[in-house]
Amino acid sequence: MKYLITYDIQNDKRRKKISDELEAFGYRVNYSVFECELNHTKLKRLKEKLEELVDIKTDSLRFYHICENCIPKSFELCNKGEVFEKQDFFI
Amino acid sequence: MKYLITYDIQNDKRRKKISDELEAFGYRVNYSVFECELNHTKLKRLKEKLEELVDIKTDSLRFYHICENCIPKSFELCNKGEVFEKQDFFI
């Protein structure tokens, strides 16, 4: 399953911990936006980890499911590569 | 059609113009993330306006299509209301 994860985190230290966690599960495509490929197990584990880190009163952390039909209708307006572009580089 | 629009805009003045444009088409849900309900005509008009404003070399502006099947699988982890929650308030 593909998920787009966006956040607004008030505290710098907390924001760093959260983005580090997300880096382990996907790709940063904007400053506070990550594209992640998550099976049910990974989604559960990521949610649990982030729930420990966020301040639910002041922060915002949104998970958007993006299905295979939505991807071809999604696009980037500038030169930053397609959405959910394969990021693996084989040398 | 529902679109999630995320951006990284380097220049403050340009960022303000772009977010003002997006405010006219939808709801800001995170600092640089908007949820928009766009028919084909509105999508075309919004794209044209934003293409005039962005610097395609330094900025990033991503449109993610979110279909009716993806919405119930999407969620907010903190207390910031559901994704694509009906925002119209009738007094």
Per-residue pLDDT tens for A48-77? 999 999 999 999 999 999 999 999 999 999
The interaxial angle of helices B12-23 and B40-53, nearest 10 deg, is 170
- Residue A90's pLDDT band (cuts 50, 70, 90): very low
Residue type, position B11, single letter? N
| Residue B88: half-sphere exposure toward Cβ, Cα within 13 Å | 2
Any residues with CB less than 8 A from the CB of A16 and at least 6 apart, and which?
Answer: none
Whether the CB of A65 is below 8 Å from some CB of chain B: the reply is yes
Q: What are phi and psi of A21, to 5 degrees?
A: -60, -45
Per-residue pLDDT tens for A10-20? 999 999 999 99
Whether the CB of A75 is below 8 Å from some CB of chain B: the reply is yes
Predicted local confidence at residue A47, as pLDDT: 96
Mean pLDDT of A26-37: 94
Predicted local confidence at residue B11, as pLDDT: 95
Distance from CA of B90 to the nearest CA of A (A): 25
Is B12 labelled a binding residue? no
Domain ranges of chain A: 2-67
Whether the CB of B21 is below 8 Å from some CB of chain A: the reply is no
Any residues with CB less than 8 A from the CB of A58 and at least 6 apart, and which?
Answer: A10, A11
Mean pLDDT of B69-83: 90
- Residue A31's pLDDT band (cuts 50, 70, 90): very high
ipTM score over 0.85, yes or no: yes
Domain spanning B2-73 has what CATH number?
3.30.70.240
Domain spanning A2-67 has what CATH number?
3.30.70.240
Mean pLDDT of B23-33: 94
